Structure formats: structure tokens, C-alpha cells
Amino acid sequence: MAKTRIRRKDLKKPDEFVTQTGKAVEWISAHYQIVAGVVGSLLLLGAALGITSAFRSARSRDANTDLALAMASLRGSDLSNAATSLTDVAERWSSTSVAGLASLLAANTEIRLGQNDNAITRLSQLMSESSDELPSYLRQQALVAWGNALEEKADWTTAAAKYQAAADLSGPYTAQAVLHEARAREQLGEKDRATELYRKLYDQFPEFPDRELVRSKIDV
């Protein structure tokens, strides 16, 4: 194997790493104020981001705590107080993801109290202002609740439209939405459409608890 010969003059050459490091040190020394300003700005930016992150975490934690307390009031007998508490949470934390859920729960509670006009107004506002921020299953639940409130007012046409919109979304309330739309169509005298929906419910949701009732509505 041939050996590489190291010449004496090669040993006298300055090390490249040392040379470049020296140049960097000289440049930093000559531009100390610029370097100090950049480093200081980066440190301030890092501190600001850290503070913002901590603030958001604390805000999210507080919002969830308030929501949990308001939801606990639903287990009591004073539904009016529960609706008020949920409304307060929705307003207090309007800039967080908690607000949409609190508002939806408040609307459901108002329906249980027979305050259907209040619920419809709340749901209309929720779907117009926060629809894009809500997960699909919450949008679906909001539309079903909206349909429920409209049913209580015997507005079958609009209720059927809300249930149809809910059924078009992906979520756990699809079967419920199809059933309620079928009932609304029956009230409107749209027998063929109602039968079609009952058939859809029977075929696509074999685990639906009211399956025998659905079966009675169609020719099997």
C-alpha cells in the first residue's frame, strides 16, 4: 500500500478550522453591537412565545374548569340555573373552543325548559358564527337540536330541513336525524319521502333501538 508523504511545508500551514474560527471571532468583535442586538431580539422573542404559550394553556385550563362546573349543574333540578351558567361560560370564554360546546349545551337545556325561541336564536348564531370551528359531530348535534326546537313550534318544514342537513354530516346522530326527518315528513303529508327515510334507517342502521317501530312503517 502506498503511503501518503506529509511534507514539512504542509505541517507549517495554518489549520483551516482555526483560521475560519479566528475570522469569525474577528468579525463578531468588529460588529459586536449588531450581534448583541440580534441575540437580544431572539431571546426576547423566545421569552414572548413562552409567555404566550403559558397564558394560552392557563386560559384553556380555566375555561375547561368553568365548563365542567356548569355541566355539573345539569345534574340538578334547577335547569334554569344550568342554562344561565352555560350561557355565562359561552360568553366569558367566547374566544376559546369551549364557547361552542357551552352554547350548544345551553340551547339543549333551553329546549328542555320549553324556551324554544331562545334556543333557536342561540343555535342560529352558533351555526352562523362558529360553524367552521365546531367539529362535525357538534355541528350535527346542533342541527338536530335546532330541529327539535322547531318541532316544538310545529314548524315541520324547517325542522325537516335541519334534520336532513344533520343527516348529511358525519357523526353519531345520523340515525336520529333520519328518524326525526321521517316523522317530520309524515306530519307534512309526504308519505313517500317518509317511507324512503324509514327504509334507509332500517337498512343502514340495524342496531337502531326502535328497529321494530321503523319496520312497522315500511313494507319489509
- Asked if 220 and 165 sit in the same domain, the reply is yes
**28: Cβ contacts below 8 Å, ≥ 6 apart:** 35
E strand residue ranges, 26-150: none
Using alpha carbons only, give the angle 189, 166, 102 rounded to the nearest 5 degrees. Answer: 125
Between the alpha carbon of residue 90 and those of residues 74, 166, 167, the distances in Å are 15, 23, 26
pLDDT in tens, 61-98: 887 888 898 888 888 889 999 999 999 998 998 878 88
Single pTM value for the model = 0.70
Within a domain: residue 47?
Answer: yes
E strand residue ranges, 41-106: none
Report the run of H or E that residue 56 belongs to, with start and end.
helix 32-72
pLDDT in tens, 122-143: 999 999 887 677 889 999 999 9
Mean pLDDT of the region 18-43: 60
Within a domain: residue 145?
Answer: no
- Asked if 66 and 121 sit in the same domain, the reply is yes
- Domain count along the chain: 2
- Asked if 47 and 104 sit in the same domain, the reply is yes
- Asked if 43 and 129 sit in the same domain, the reply is yes
- Asked if 124 and 161 sit in the same domain, the reply is no
* Cα-trace Rg, the chain: 32
Instruction: Point out the domain boundary residue: 100, 134, 168.
Output: 134
Task: Write down the pLDDT at residue 11.
Answer: 46
- In the chain, what are the helix, strand and coil shares in percent, each to the nearest 5? 80, 0, 20
Within a domain: residue 14?
Answer: no
Within a domain: residue 139?
Answer: no
Using 50, 70 and 90 to split pLDDT, how confident is the model at 55?
A: very low
- Asked if 205 and 123 sit in the same domain, the reply is no
pLDDT in tens, 159-218: 999 999 999 999 999 999 999 999 999 999 999 999 999 999 999 999 888 888 899 888
Within a domain: residue 29?
Answer: no
Within a domain: residue 3?
Answer: no
- Asked if 77 and 112 sit in the same domain, the reply is yes
- Asked if 49 and 117 sit in the same domain, the reply is yes
- Asked if 115 and 166 sit in the same domain, the reply is no
- Asked if 102 and 183 sit in the same domain, the reply is no
Residue the block writes with cell 336564536 = 121
| Number of residues written out for the chain | 220
| Cα–Cα distance for residue pair 111/117, rounded to 1 Å | 9
Within a domain: residue 149?
Answer: no
Full domain range(s) for residue 173: 154-220
- Asked if 45 and 128 sit in the same domain, the reply is yes
With beta carbons less than 8 A apart as the criterion, state whether 142 and 104 touch: yes
Q: For helices 136-152 and 174-187, what crossing angle results, to 10°? A: 20
pLDDT in tens, 95-127: 788 889 999 999 999 999 999 999 999 999 999
- Asked if 44 and 126 sit in the same domain, the reply is yes
Between the alpha carbon of residue 181 and those of residues 32, 76, 136, the distances in Å are 73, 31, 19
Residue 5 predicted with pLDDT over 80: no
